[in-house]
């Protein structure tokens, strides 16, 4: 950062810029209900920006949420939305994508929804390489239900359900997802909003199952552990020479949870679930091209 004096920003101009950019086209009329300072604001901004920049039509996007602070995310984005059940976002999203390949499916959820109750679904969405984007918001706590321990709560953390302290080792979601075979794995931080927006765009643009781990402090129920203050000091960009095609290198970076590396840990291009289902249909004798052509008419 240089100390150079910046041009003044006038609110009217800024607003016009924003309106002209089309970013607001993906905002719904509903106002978010998150706590002031919550990382979900950054995420909403990142999603609406990315959808806009990717040139998608609102009606061709579906946002799927489960239960948690992310529940109401779909209501704040002007796309089709499905607010599902606790932990079941990925199978619902798989159904939606399987039914209609033309839809862009974005799944949002927290660490509890994803790695506690929904932990059984991530490996399968990853191994199938369902072409959806999974934005996982990790705040290390259950926020919506007012501060209980989560699968990623740190050791020693006191919550309403671990009043003495959490003695369980936190999960390492990135290592898990890498080993599950996700074809795009990245990490971002809600405190670095622009980087986050860029990562969301990359994740959505990826053809296959993309998992974006978003570190996001819970400003209400975590005053001691994963705070913006602490996180600002801990996060770092991935090394410049990190090879995102190297799964083992990605594993090593994913293991560094004390100094989370931000960026794309791993990416590969391989057939998606839909590709494979089409290949199966073709080998069963169906004329998939005819079907696609018909659908396009």
Interface contacts to another protein, rule CB under 8 A: 30, 57-60, 62-64, 71-72, 74-75, 78-85, 88, 90-100, 102-103, 120-121, 123-124, 273, 277, 280-281, 283-288, 291
Find the shortest distance in angstroms from Cβ 57 to another protein: 7
Residue 127: partners with Cβ closer than 8 Å, 6 or more residues away: 180, 181
Whichever of 204 and 264 has its CB closer to another protein, that residue is: 204
Token representation of residue 221: 């129920």
Whichever of 229 and 292 has its CB closer to another protein, that residue is: 292
Find the shortest distance in angstroms from Cβ 176 to another protein: 15
Backbone angles phi, psi at 213, to 5 degrees: -90, 115
Q: Please tell me the distance from the alpha carbon of residue 266 to that of residue 33, in angstroms, as a whole number.
A: 33
Contact 234, 253 (CB under 8 A): no
Backbone angles phi, psi at 83, to 5 degrees: -90, 105
Whichever of 88 and 195 has its CB closer to another protein, that residue is: 88
Token representation of residue 158: 């006191």
* The pairing of beta strand 148-149 with beta strand 141-142: antiparallel
Token representation of residue 263: 């960026």
Find the shortest distance in angstroms from Cβ 185 to another protein: 20
| Environment class of 280 (CB within 10 Å of its CB; exposed 0-12, middle 13-18, buried 19+) | exposed
DSSP state of 6: P
DSSP E strand stretches across 140-227: 141-142, 148-149, 184-189, 210-215
Whichever of 159 and 183 has its CB closer to another protein, that residue is: 183
Token representation of residue 62: 């579906």
Whichever of 193 and 274 has its CB closer to another protein, that residue is: 274
Find the shortest distance in angstroms from Cβ 250 to another protein: 24
Tell me how crowded residue 103 is: count the other CB atoms within 10 A of its CB. 19
Whichever of 43 and 265 has its CB closer to another protein, that residue is: 43
Find the shortest distance in angstroms from Cβ 135 to another protein: 16
Find the shortest distance in angstroms from Cβ 5 to another protein: 44
Find the shortest distance in angstroms from Cβ 273 to another protein: 8
Whichever of 61 and 235 has its CB closer to another protein, that residue is: 61
Contact 257, 264 (CB under 8 A): no
């Amino acid at each position: 950062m240089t100390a150079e004096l910046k041009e003044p920003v006038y609110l009217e101009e800024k607003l016009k810029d924003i309106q002209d950019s089309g970013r607001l086209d993906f905002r719904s009329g509903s106002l978010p209900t998150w706590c002031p300072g919550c990382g979900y604001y950054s995420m909403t901004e990142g999603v609406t920006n990315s959808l806009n920049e990717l040139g998608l039509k609102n009606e061709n996007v579906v946002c799927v949420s489960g239960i948690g602070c992310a529940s109401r995310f779909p209501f704040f984005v002007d796309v089709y939305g499905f607010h599902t059940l606790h932990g079941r976002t990925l199978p619902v999203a798989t159904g939606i994508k399987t039914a209609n390949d033309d839809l862009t499916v974005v799944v949002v959820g927290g660490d509890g929804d994803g790695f506690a109750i929904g932990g059984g679904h991530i490996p399968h969405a990853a191994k199938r390489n369902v072409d959806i984007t999974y934005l996982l918001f990790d705040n290390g706590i259950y926020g919506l239900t007012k501060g209980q321990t989560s699968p990623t709560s740190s050791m020693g953390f006191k919550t309403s359900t671990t009043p003495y302290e959490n003695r369980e080792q936190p999960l390492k979601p990135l290592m898990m997802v890498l080993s599950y075979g996700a074809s795009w794995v990245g990490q971002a931080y809600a405190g670095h909003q622009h980087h986050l927006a860029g990562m969301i765009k990359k994740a959505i643009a990826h053809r296959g199952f993309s998992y974006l781990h978003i570190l996001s402090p819970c400003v209400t129920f975590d005053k001691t552990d994963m705070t913006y203050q602490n996180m600002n000091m801990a996060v770092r960009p991935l090394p410049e020479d990190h090879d995102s095609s190297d799964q083992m290198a990605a594993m090593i970076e994913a293991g560094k949870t004390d100094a989370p590396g931000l960026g794309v840990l791993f990416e590969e291009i391989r057939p998606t679930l839909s590709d494979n289902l089409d290949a199966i249909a073709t080998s069963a004798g169906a004329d998939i091209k005819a079907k696609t052509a018909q659908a396009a008419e």
